[in-house]
Structure 1
Amino acid sequence: MERVLRIGLALLCVLLLSPAFADENDTDWKLVSDRNEIQVYMKHRDESRLKTFRGVTRFELKDEFALAAVLNDYGSYPKWLHFVDSAEEFDRRGPLDRSLRFTTQLPWPLADREAVLQADVQQKVTTEEESVMIELINQPDALPPNNDYIRFPEMWGKLGFRRLGDDQVEMTYELILDPGGYIPAWIANILLRDAPYFTLERLRRIILKPEYQNQYYDYLDLLRGPGRPDSTTNIAGQPKS
């Protein structure tokens, strides 16, 4: 019951405060790229020198727990999350609320960057809708400064899916960040525009790899997926002995 209440309160806060759950038909979003069944949209924010980018794609995903398996594999992040060179978890208040640090290597003469974020999972499972969204909230002061990196002064994002019916899902990746330091806004916007496309293109391939199938995580209330308490996997996602 406590977990259900916590998820409900998190969802309520996000619905009220977060632009991630704004109307998907918002006319402020402009289509800037449509290739390989991935649409990338752009929105300008008056309060920021940079633009917000959103990528959307649809594909077949029979086992929804595969997304959790990929997200728990921090070593794999550089293989699919665009610009990310490393990812680590440095704090956990619960399986749905974690603190993460990402680093990215930029070409000379640009300095390398790092992001310190809270990853907050919101899930919604009803008879009419099923979705899991990870909101990435900037926490630049959660770790001491690192002289080897410039820390992003602004960053916010979301990554997740919603069930469309049968085995089809719609995956969304949305990102806004200010890289800090000296990077002209026009260059930063070009880099940001590419991030949703390459992230989703890689993720939808990696999520289907055998090592991410048949997992089970008891903190997610998902309807699809072979991993269940009475199946051949335990709650840690490992085969039962």
Structure 2
Amino acid sequence: MKKNILLPVLLLLATLSAFAQKEWTLKSNKDGIKVFTRTDQNSGLKEIRVQCQVPATLSQMVALVMDVNAGKDWVYATKSSTLLKTVSPSELYYYSEVDMPWPLSNRDFIAHLIVSQHPQSHVVTIDGPTVGNYVAEKEDIVRVKRSSGKWTLSPVAENLVHVDYTLSVDPGGNIPIWLVNLFATKGPTETFRKLKTQITKPVYARVKLPYIVD
């Protein structure tokens, strides 16, 4: 009898745990940019989610994200961003160094960007997991080895895209809570404000990517 009761209880607890892990808390809502956070139950680290709408086409948005050499122009705290390898028009590897305030060491990472598009909905996904040892580590810079970013770009109307971006990252080393909170709220807001400006530059104005249906 006890076994019969125990099984549904365990299933209920597992369901509640999975549900709780999916909950996001709205931390900021400025200039149409919503920033959410949640705590990863396995690592205890903060995850970030950003939602906004950008007046652009899908091709323009993909072109901007894949233009990694320009990342320092709009991604918060980026000291450098450099293309390492182009696998195909929809796949690449790049290196980036993140500027941290003194006395913390800067962080760097190598990301692997892969673009895909759903054939019916035309929703575009850009996955960006890190690759820890793609290039040698540098002295006095902490290598970020565990990170996963994901862009979900949904067409809303002509020249209007809904952006849903999530990021889970282990920055490594000891970072004070106030700085974690700063990067979790100010960082995403500043990044997406600059993104909206960056997308208006002439280099993206007439972009039409052959592998993207707008």
TM-score, normalising length from structure 1?
0.73
The 1-side partners of 2:91 and 2:68 are apart by 15
Instruction: Please show how residues 19-34 of structure 1 align to structure 2 within 5 Å.
Output: 28-34=23-29
The 2-side partners of 1:187 and 1:159 are apart by 24
Larger radius of gyration: 2
The 2-side partners of 1:110 and 1:204 are apart by 30
Check if 1:110 corresponds to 2:101: no
Q: Is the 8 A contact 1:39 1:56 kept in 2?
A: yes
Output one character per residue of 1:112-166: Cα deviation in whole Å (capped at 9) or x when no partner.
Answer: 110112111121242xx22222111021122222114110132111124210133
Equivalenced residue count is 196
Check if 1:93 corresponds to 2:84: no
The 2-side partners of 1:105 and 1:153 are apart by 17
The residue matched to 1:191 in structure 2 has which SS? helix
The 1-side partners of 2:55 and 2:172 are apart by 38
Q: Could you list the runs of 5+ residues in structure 1 that have no partner in the other structure?
A: 1-22, 224-241
Check if 1:180 corresponds to 2:172: yes
Q: Could you list the runs of 5+ residues in structure 2 that have no partner in the other structure?
A: 1-18
The residue matched to 2:77 in structure 1 has which SS? coil
Check if 1:202 corresponds to 2:197: no
Q: Which amino acid aligns with 1:222?
A: V
Q: Which amino acid aligns with 1:211?
A: V
The residue matched to 1:205 in structure 2 has which SS? helix
TM-score, normalising length from structure 2?
0.82
Shift of 1:110: 0.7
Q: Is the 8 A contact 2:58 2:124 kept in 1?
A: no
Shift of 1:100: 1.2
Q: Decide which of 130, 138, 155 is 1:163's aligned counterpart.
A: 155
Output one character per residue of 1:181-212: Cα deviation in whole Å (capped at 9) or x when no partner.
Answer: 22134532331232322221111221122221
Q: Which amino acid aligns with 2:24?
A: W
| Structure 2 CA distance for partners of 1:57 and 1:51, relative to 1, 3 Å | same
The 1-side partners of 2:194 and 2:76 are apart by 9
% identity of equivalent residues: 23
The 2-side partners of 1:184 and 1:43 are apart by 17
